[in-house]
Structure 1
Amino acid sequence: MRADATRNVEAVLRAAARVFAADPHARIPDVAAAAGVDRRTVYRRFDSREELLLAVYRARLDQLEALIASTLDDRPVREALLAFAEGGVRLSREWPVDIRAVADAEVQRRRVELDARMSAFLERAEEAGLVSSDLPAGWALRTLQTQLHTAAQEMPGLAPPEAAELVVSTFLHGVG
Structure 2
Amino acid sequence: MGETAARPLRADAERSVRLILEAAERLLSRDPGASMEQIAAEAGVSRTTIHRRFAHRQALTDALALSAARQLAQAVDDGRPATAPPLVALHRITANVLEVKGAWTYALSLPATPDSEAATLHATMAERCITVLDRARAAGLIDASADLHWLQRVYYALLGETLHGNPADDEADPDALAARVVETFLHGAGVRG
TM-score normalised to structure 2 length: 0.80
Q: Confirm or deny: 8 A CA contact 1:12 1:35 kept in the other structure.
A: yes
Equivalent in 77, 92, 95 of residue 86 of structure 1: 95
Structure 1 vs Structure 2: percent identity of aligned residues?
30
Structure 1 residue 109: Cα displacement: 3.1
Corresponding position: 1:118 with 2:126 = no
Letter in 1 for 2:152: L
Change in CA separation of 1:162 and 1:103 when aligned onto 2, cut-off 3 Å = same
What pairs up with 1:10-159 in 2 under 5 angstroms? 10-71=18-79, 72-96=81-105, 97-99=107-109, 101-106=111-116, 107-154=118-165, 157=170, 158-159=172-173
SS of corresponding position for 2:141: coil
Q: SS of 1:129's equivalent?
A: coil
| Corresponding position: 1:171 with 2:185 | yes
Gaps of 5+ in 1: none
User: How far apart are the structure 2 equivalents of 1:14 and 1:56?
Assistant: 8
Q: Secondary structure at the match of 1:126?
A: helix
Match of 2:3 in 1: none
| Counterpart-to-counterpart distance in 2, 1:39 and 1:85 | 38
1:45 shift after superposition: 0.3
Instruction: State the TM-score, normalized to the length of structure 1.
Output: 0.87
Structure 2 gaps, min length 5: 1-8
The structure with the larger Rg is: 2
The number of equivalent residue pairs is: 176
- Write the letter of the residue equivalent to 1:142: R
1:21 and 1:98 in contact (8 A); partners too? no
Give secondary structure in 2 for the equivalent of 1:105.
coil
Please give the root-mean-square deviation of Cα atoms over the aligned residues, in Å: 2.1
